[in-house]
């Protein structure tokens, strides 16, 4: 199954669905059950939702169906927010009886191209234009055409095998969100509900999946993370500060109720929607898994600013990187023992400081923590990215003033760069101490989805903490290759590298003794036996310190296990 149209990120993975039905668990009643929120799609009309799902399925409005209609070139252009190739292709398809219905739906829902009512009635005979209007999805334009009020696009994933080895089926869904900047004129509304974007699919891909009783989607937006959580969590709590965002999430949940295993008559049995900021809606509760794509964008604050002045989908209302720092500090308080949290974030990098200096200061010393910086940009590029994101560059004076405000804001805190990356946190199990404290930069391409590999790395770290490495027997991982480089005529290689072909695709520079150790890892000899043999082979000269040699080699071997080059036999 290919990625959905206009989605620039790689395809999202599935996670294991519980193998057998699980009993309902007691959770706090959802305070947000509104099915008719102003300026959002309605979710209180089950008959129309069922009719809409049936029509969309019948017309072939799926991820694969759209990709097949558009063809590779137009579909790829659409993923870059370029509509013209898709408009050309669907314009031609509109004249063919076999493709006219799907072309009309694509033009309306993905390309925001107004359609005639009779065209839509023919393409979607169950719900028709009248039903689309009643649901709040379309409106009549001045030219007596029907135009889209929201973006409604297919989204899905293929069957996969989860971290626990349980096979899970795929899903074919439809996701409603506000029209994006390339689909409408003007600056985005401040309570804009973001659709399927690169950040949301990145979080989907980095999340390590496992079956849990309770999960939390903090800042759900239109509900993408919740959809994935429902395939491996018995109950999901989804929060947001925006009523419109929760209304979109509720609409999407009920439109896709069958695929998400949600009872339309009792959705709260599996999903609780909470209105509120950060962790306030779940204070005093605990979850086994928390995921969050928070409003982490660093935005200049101004005197007299109110929430109405902020883009709620990206601006948390706090200065600098305080949204992310406050979450990193507070999330362990809502984690059950052994529970994990994964989120995305930005952090400021002061001039002359290491990028990891601020993130390290946020981490709870009692919690496991892993930061991976994926990108670093300067203040100018950061300002350009987010001003363009909200289409503020369409107003020249607004763009100039806002750009200057960004630079002044960063200069006031001596910020020379802004980092972006992923964050993993864990509350240790009762009686256990911190096992993981990693702050690393990985800017090259990695395998996606990387979530299973992050989960495996955590398991290896736990294994190292619980076992005597010297007594272990190790094997070289299947995806690992070795490279040796030497100058012409040289007797020995000057550089020996180990490379991973999967996961984080790390490269490790080996010393002579470490290369010799890895070559002997076939599972027969223990780590201690191999180290002893290397000591006898390479030591014995004047000044050789055997204890130091053994300790240093054991540390390097532990690092290779931690990073997945070597695995327990």
Residue 567 near residue 523 (C-beta atoms within 8 A): no
Residue 40 near residue 189 (C-beta atoms within 8 A): no
- Cβ within 8 Å of residue 204, ≥6 positions away: 12, 13, 224, 225, 228, 449
Which residues of the chain are in CATH 3.90.930 domains? 467-568
Sign of the Cα torsion 364, 367, 368, 370 reads negative
Tokens 């080699």 appear where? 553
pLDDT digit string (tens) for 375-401? 999 999 999 988 887 677 777 888 898
The DSSP call for residue 100 is H
Residue 182 binned pLDDT confidence (cut-offs 50, 70, 90): confident
Burial code (b: 16+ CB inside 10 Å, e: under 16) for 101-119 equals bbbbbbbbbbbbbbbebeb
Query: β-strands 146-148, 138-140: how paired?
Result: antiparallel
With 0-12 CB in 10 A as exposed, 13-18 as middle and 19+ as buried, what is 239?
Answer: buried
Q: How many angstroms separate the first and last alpha carbons of the chain?
A: 35
CATH number of 467-568: 3.90.930
Tokens 């919690």 appear where? 367
What is the pLDDT, as a whole number, of residue 184?
87
Tokens 């379309």 appear where? 138
Statement: the pTM of the whole predicted model exceeds 0.85: yes
Q: Does domain 185-448 have CATH number 3.40.50.150?
A: yes
Q: What integer is the mean pLDDT of 31-36?
A: 86
User: Rounded to an integer, what distance in angstroms lies between the CA atom of residue 53 and that of residue 336?
Assistant: 37
What is the pLDDT, as a whole number, of residue 87?
97
Which residues of the chain are in CATH 3.40.50.150 domains? 185-448
pLDDT digit string (tens) for 469-483? 999 999 999 999 999
């Amino acid at each position: 199954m290919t990625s959905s149209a206009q989605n620039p990120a790689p395809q999202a993975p599935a996670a294991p669905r519980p193998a057998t039905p699980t009993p309902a668990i007691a959770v706090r009643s959802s305070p947000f059950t509104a099915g008719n929120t102003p300026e959002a799609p309605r979710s209180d009309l089950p008959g129309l939702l069922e009719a809409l799902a049936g029509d969309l399925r019948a017309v072939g409005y799926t991820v694969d169906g759209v990709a097949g209609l558009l063809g590779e070139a137009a579909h790829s252009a659409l993923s870059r927010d370029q509509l013209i190739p898709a408009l050309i292709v669907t314009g031609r398809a509109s004249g063919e009886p076999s493709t006219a219905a799907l072309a009309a739906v694509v033009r309306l829902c993905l390309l925001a191209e107004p359609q005639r009512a009779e065209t839509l009635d023919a393409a979607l005979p169950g719900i028709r234009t009248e039903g689309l209007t009643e649901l709040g999805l379309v409106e009549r334009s001045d030219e007596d055409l029907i135009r889209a009020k929201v973006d409604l696009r297919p989204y899905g994933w293929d069957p996969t095998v989860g971290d626990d080895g349980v096979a899970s089926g795929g899903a074919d869904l439809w996701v409603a969100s506000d029209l994006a900047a390339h689909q409408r004129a003007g600056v985005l509304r401040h309570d804009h509900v973001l659709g399927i974007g690169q950040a949301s699919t990145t979080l989907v891909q980095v999340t390590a999946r496992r079956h849990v009783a309770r999960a939390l989607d903090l800042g759900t937006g239109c509900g993408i993370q919740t959809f994935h959580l429902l395939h491996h969590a018995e109950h999901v709590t989804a929060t947001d500060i925006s009523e419109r965002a929760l209304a979109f999430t509720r609409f999407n949940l009920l439109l896709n109720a069958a695929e998400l295993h949600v009872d339309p008559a009792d959705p709260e049995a599996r999903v609780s929607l909470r209105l509120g900021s950060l962790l306030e809606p779940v204070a005093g509760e605990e979850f086994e898994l928390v995921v969050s794509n928070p409003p982490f964008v660093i935005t200049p604050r101004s005197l007299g600013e109110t929430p109405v002045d902020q883009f709620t989908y990206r601006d948390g209302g706090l200065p600098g990187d305080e949204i992310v720092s406050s979450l990193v500090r507070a999330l362990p308080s809502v984690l059950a023992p052994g529970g994990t949290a994964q989120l995305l974030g930005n952090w400021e990098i002061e001039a002359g400081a290491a990028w990891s200096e601020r993130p390290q200061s946020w981490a709870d010393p009692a919690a496991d923590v892993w930061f991976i910086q994926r990108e670093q940009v300067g203040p100018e590029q950061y300002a350009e990215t987010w001003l363009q994101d909200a289409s503020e560059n369409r107003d020249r004076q607004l763009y100039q003033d806002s750009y200057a405000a960004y630079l002044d804001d960063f200069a006031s805190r001596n910020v020379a760069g802004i980092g972006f990356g992923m964050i993993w946190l864990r509350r240790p199990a009762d009686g256990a101490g911190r096992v993981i404290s990693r702050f690393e930069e990985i800017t090259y391409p990695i395998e996606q989805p990387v979530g299973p590999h992050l989960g495996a790395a955590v398991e290896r770290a736990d294994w190292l903490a619980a076992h005597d490495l010297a007594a272990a027997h190790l094997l070289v991982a299947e995806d690992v290759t070795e490279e040796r480089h030497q100058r012409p005529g040289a007797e020995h290689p000057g550089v020996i590298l180990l490379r991973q072909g999967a996961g984080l695709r790390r490269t490790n520079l080996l010393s002579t003794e470490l290369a010799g150790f890895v070559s002997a890892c076939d599972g027969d000899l223990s780590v201690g036996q191999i180290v002893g043999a290397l000591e006898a082979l390479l030591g014995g000269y004047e000044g050789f310190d055997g204890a130091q040699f053994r300790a240093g080699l054991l540390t390097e071997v532990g690092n290779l296990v931690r990073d997945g080059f070597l695995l327990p036999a």
